[in-house]
Amino acid sequence: MPVITFANAKGGAGKTTAALLLATELARLGHRVTILDADPQRWITQWHEISGAQPNIDVISEVTTASLQCHIRDAGRYSDYIVVDLAGARDALVSTSLGLSDHVMIPIQGCAMDARGGAQILDLIHRMESASGRAIAHSVVLTRVTSLVTTRALLTIKGLLAARGVNVMDTPIAERSAFREIFDCGGTLYGMDPAKISNLDKARENARLFAEEVMRRLPVRVVRSQTPRNILRLVRSAA
C-alpha cells in the first residue's frame, strides 16, 4: 500500500493536477485509490463533489497533522495506493506526510519561484533523512510544460537538476486544456468528449505514461518500519 505525496512549498506548481491525474489513472487500471486532500483549497474535494462517486476512488478531506497517520492506517486496509495532496507550504503537516511517504513527488514549473519552493521541500527531505538515517524516496516532476519547450530544453533542465543530485521524472506533465477541464467538469479524461476537448488523446497518453513511471519508481514491496514515535521525532527534528 504505497503512500505517494505531492509537495511543493509554493502553491500553483501543479501539485493537485499531478495528484489527480495519477489517482484517476491508477483507478482506471483497477487499483483502489484513496486521495487525502490536505490542501486548504480543497480542489480535489470539489472535483469529487462535481464528479459524484467514481469507481475505485475515495477522497478524504479535513486532513490534519493529528489525523494524517490515522487516515493512512485506515485507508491502507482497503486501498492499493494512497495519494496525498498537500498545501503549498512547509509546515508540520507537510513534514509528517513526507515522513510517512513511500515516494514524494515534487512538481516544479519552469520558473524560479517554483524551483525555490521545490528546493525547500528537497532541503526538508534531506534534513529529515539526516535526522532519521532513513532515506525518503523522492522525484521532481516538471509540470505545465508547453509545446514551446523543446526536447533539448527539457534535457538541459533535467541535466542541471541531475547535476545537483536531484532525481527527475522522465515524463513531464504537459500544459493541456483537458487537465484544466477535469476540475471544471468532473469525472476523468476518459469521460470527456474528444470533439470538445483539443488534443484529448495526447492528454490521456501523457497521464498514462506519467502513472506508469510513478508505479515503476515505487518499491516492489513496501515495508513500513517507522513507528509513530519515530515519525514524531522526525517532524520535531526538521522543524
For residue 102, what are the domain limits? Answer: 3-238
pLDDT on residue 11: 79
Beta bridge partners of 58: 34
Mean pLDDT per 10-residue section of the chain, whose length is 239 residues = 92 90 97 96 95 94 94 95 91 94 90 74 92 91 77 67 78 93 95 94 97 89 45 51
Position 167 scores a pLDDT of 86
The model's pLDDT over 32-70, given as tens digits with 9 standing for 90+, comes to 999 999 999 999 999 999 998 899 999 999 899 999 999
- Cβ-based neighbour number of residue 167 at 10 Å: 13
Taking CA atoms, 104 is separated from 55, 58, 68, 110, 181, in Å, by: 25, 20, 16, 19, 26
Q: From CA 174, how far away is CA 31, in angstroms rounded?
A: 24
Predicted confidence at residue 219, as pLDDT, reads: 73
Burial class (CB in 10 A: 0-12, 13-18, 19+), 96: buried
Domain total in the chain: 1
pTM for the full model? 0.87
Beta strands 3-6; 103-108: pairing state = parallel
In single-letter form, the type of residue at position 21 comes to: L
> What tens digit of pLDDT does each residue of 197-224 get?
999 999 999 999 999 999 999 976 544 4
**CATH code where residue 187 lies:** 3.40.50.300
Question: b or e along 49-87 (b: 16 or more beta carbons within 10 Å of the residue's beta carbon)?
Answer: eebeebebbbbbeebeeeebbebbeebbeebbbbbbbbb
